[in-house]
Amino acid sequence: MPKILVAIPCYRCEKQIKRVIEKFDQKLLGRITHVMVLDNQSPDNTIQAAKEALKQLGTEKLTVYRNDQNNNLGGSHKIAFNYAIENGFDYVAILHGDDQGETQELNILIDTIEKDPELDAALGARFMFRSKLKGYSQIRIWGNLVLNTIFTILSFRLTKDLGSGINIFKMSELKDKNYLGFTNYLTFNIDLLLDYYRKGSKIKFIPITWSETDQLSNAKASQVAWTAFKTLLRWRFGQAKRLGPQEYLTTKVS
C-alpha cells in the first residue's frame, strides 16, 4: 500500500475548510497516511475553523500547519513536496481548501495510480468529457479550452487542464526538486506540468467535479491566462524563468 500525503493549501478559507475536512470519511482516511492543512498566513479565521473541524472528525491523521510567511500557492506545494521527500512518502495529493473540488474524488485519483503504478501524476481536469462544472461562466470555460488547445499545439502533449485544485503526484519523479525553481504564484502548476512534458513523464488527466459557490478569488482570470501564455512561450523557446534559492518553512499549530 503506497504511503500517501494529502496536502490542503488554504488562504482565506474560513467558510470552506470545515466542509473540506468533514468529507474525509473512514474509507478515505484508511487509504491515506497523513493529511496536512497548510494555511498560508490567512488574515481570517481559517486556522481556527480547521482546528474545530479536526476535533469533530476525531483522527490523528490530520494536522494543521501555518506557513512562516505567505509563499502563495506555489510555495505551499513546495512545502508539501519537501515534507513528503524528507518523510518517505510515495505520493502527494493536493486538495485545495476552498471546497471547489470534491474531497471524495481523491478516491478516483488513488484508484488511478493504484491501477497504473507507472504513472508519475494523475491530474484533475475540469474541461474534459465527464467533467462537471457548477457555477462556472461560459466565458471562463471557453477561455480555458482555448488555452488548453494552445498548450496542446505548442507542447506536443494533449493538455486537458493547466492546473486544477485536486491532483496526485509520485514523489520519485520529483526528487530532482526542480520544483523549487518554479514560480510561487498561482501558475506553479503550469511550471510543473511543462517540466513533466520536458522530462517525458507519464501523466493522465482525470475528469473531476468543480464548483464555485462562496469562494473568494485571489487572482484575476485574465492575468492568470496571460501569465500562462508567456510561461508557455518561454518554455517552448528554452527561456523558462527560475527562482533562486529560498526557504519554505511551516509550523505545526494543531
All three cell numbers of 12 = 482565506
Q: How many CB atoms lie within 10 A of CB 43?
A: 9
Q: What is the mean pLDDT of residues 22-29?
A: 96
**pLDDT tens for residues 112-136?**
999 999 999 999 999 999 999 998 8
- Residue 219's pLDDT is 60
pLDDT range class, residue 229, cuts 50, 70, 90: very high
Percent of the chain with pLDDT over 70: 98
Q: Determine the average pLDDT of the residues in 89-103.
A: 97
CA distances from 237 to 112, 192, 240 (A): 33, 17, 8
Question: Would you place residue 103 in the very low, low, confident or very high pLDDT band (cuts 50, 70, 90)?
Answer: very high
- Please, is 10 exposed, middle or buried when counting C-beta atoms within 10 Å of its C-beta (0-12, 13-18, 19+)? buried
Confidence of residue 214 (pLDDT cuts 50, 70, 90): confident
Q: Which CATH class is domain 4-252?
A: alpha beta
Q: According to the model, what pLDDT value does residue 215 have?
A: 72
pLDDT at 133: 94
Tell me, what's the pLDDT at 125?
Answer: 98
Mean pLDDT of 40-61: 94
The enclosing H or E element of 113 equals helix 106-115
Q: Is residue 8 over pLDDT 90?
A: yes
With residue 152 as reference, give the H or E element that holds it. Answer: helix 138-155
The whole-angstrom separation of Cα 203 and Cα 154 is 17
What pTM does this model have?
Answer: 0.96
CA 184 to each of CA 241, 243, 251: distance values in angstroms, whole numbers, following the listed order: 12, 9, 19
Q: What is the chain's mean pLDDT, rounded?
A: 95
DSSP 6: E
- pLDDT of residue 227 exceeding 80: yes
> What's the confidence (pLDDT) of residue 217?
64
Per-residue model confidence as pLDDT tens digits over 166-213: 999 999 999 999 999 999 999 999 999 999 999 999 999 999 999 988
Please give the pLDDT value at position 4. 98
- Is pLDDT at 253 greater than 80 in this prediction? yes
CA distance 9 to 101: 12
| Lowest mean pLDDT segment, chosen from 44-53, 83-92, 219-228 | 219-228
Mean pLDDT for 86-93 is 98
d(CA 184, CA 175): 18
Q: What are the residue boundaries of the structural domains of the chain, listed by start? A: 4-252
Q: Which DSSP string do the residues of 179-225 spell out, in sequence order?
A: GGGS-SSTTHHHHHHHHHHHHT--EEEEE-EEE-SSPPP-S-HHHHH
pLDDT for position 220: 73
Phi-psi region of 179 (alpha: psi -120 to 50; beta: other; left: phi over 0): alpha
> Between 245 and 202, whose confidence is greater?
202
Question: Which of 129, 91, 123 is closest to 109 using CA atoms?
Answer: 123
pLDDT of residue 218: 60
How far is Cα 37 from Cα 13, in angstroms, rounded to an integer?
A: 11
Q: How far apart are CA 210 and CA 221, in angstroms?
A: 16
